[in-house]
Amino acid sequence: MNDRGHVEVRAYAELNDFLSPDARGTTLARPVRPHQTVKDIVEALGIPHTEIDLVVVDGEPVGFDHRPHPGARLAVYPMFERVDIGPIGRLRPAPLRDPRFVADVHLGRLARLLRLVGFDTRWRNDLTDEELATIGRREHRILLTRDRGLLKRRDVTHGLYLR
């Protein structure tokens, strides 16, 4: 492969769910421009940043704001549930101690079920994407949605793509 202007990206585990079937479990060559960050590159693949716990570029953990050089190799990992990666810098903020939710407009039934089992869940069928993101940020709520674009918003810190 010609390294000029491209990076290699490999998504692991359930992050492959966001890729097309022919791209799953493979290393992908992606064009890169000097202004693009790791966040830009992985979200262009369709992977929301809220689903990512760790990005390693050429063997070093990096933040979402890192700008990889042409020829770099990116490994993108989901949340680690069984392995403690404490000494490695996680990209996501610490989990919320008191889980509270804001549900996207198409998740009214889920919102009602969450409320029935005792979770503090906000939902209205007329909230815009901007309002959902603002509620999540200001009230420290986990945004529940099936809208990848909504999870890619810079101001969404805690979100979950419902499969």
Task: List domains and CATH numbers for the chain.
Answer: 6-77 (3.10.20.30), 101-161 (no CATH)
Q: How far apart are the first and last CA of the chain?
A: 34
The whole-number pLDDT of residue 1 equals: 43
pLDDT at 79: 78
pLDDT of residue 37: 96
**pLDDT at residue 20 in the model:** 93
Q: What is residue 3's predicted lDDT score, i.e. its pLDDT?
A: 45
Residue 126's beta-bridge partner residues?
none
- Using CA atoms, how far residue 126 sits from 11, 41, 107, 109, 111, in Å, is 35, 32, 12, 15, 14
CA distance 161 to 163: 6
Per-residue pLDDT of the chain (163 residues), as tens digits, is 444 699 999 999 999 999 999 999 999 999 999 999 999 999 999 999 988 989 999 999 999 999 999 999 999 998 765 555 555 555 655 555 678 999 999 999 999 999 999 999 999 999 999 999 999 999 989 999 999 999 999 889 888 899 8
The pLDDT of residue 154: 87
Q: Please state, in angstroms and rounded to a whole number, the distance separating the CA atoms of residues 53 and 93.
A: 9
pLDDT for 98: 75
Supply the pLDDT for residue 45: 95
Burial of residue 100 (CB within 10 Å: 0-12, 13-18, 19+) is middle
Q: Is the distance from CB of 76 to CB of 110 less than 8 angstroms?
A: no
